[in-house]
Amino acid sequence: MGKIYQVDPVSGGIIKSFDAPGSFVEGLAWDGTYLWASENGSGPNEPSYIYKLDPENGLVISSLFLNKTGYMD
């Protein structure tokens, strides 16, 4: 399991960090309130999810299962 870090854009120092959900988080998005993380599983036939996270502590508020059958070309 990896980590998600909040970094000070001026100093580069770590403000806070928490464990990333899932096993292979590939992308993050911020909507002004929540942090969203996308997980691609560990291969083309592994389950994938999008997680809605509490930005204060990294707790998963909800998740969406992504139905996929393989990588797209």
pTM, to two decimals? 0.79
Q: How far apart are CA 29 and CA 72, in angstroms?
A: 22
* Weakly modelled stretches of the chain, pLDDT under 50: none
pLDDT of residue 42: 67
For residue 28, what pLDDT is reported? 92
> Which pLDDT value is given to residue 46?
73
SS3 39: strand
pLDDT of residue 67: 73
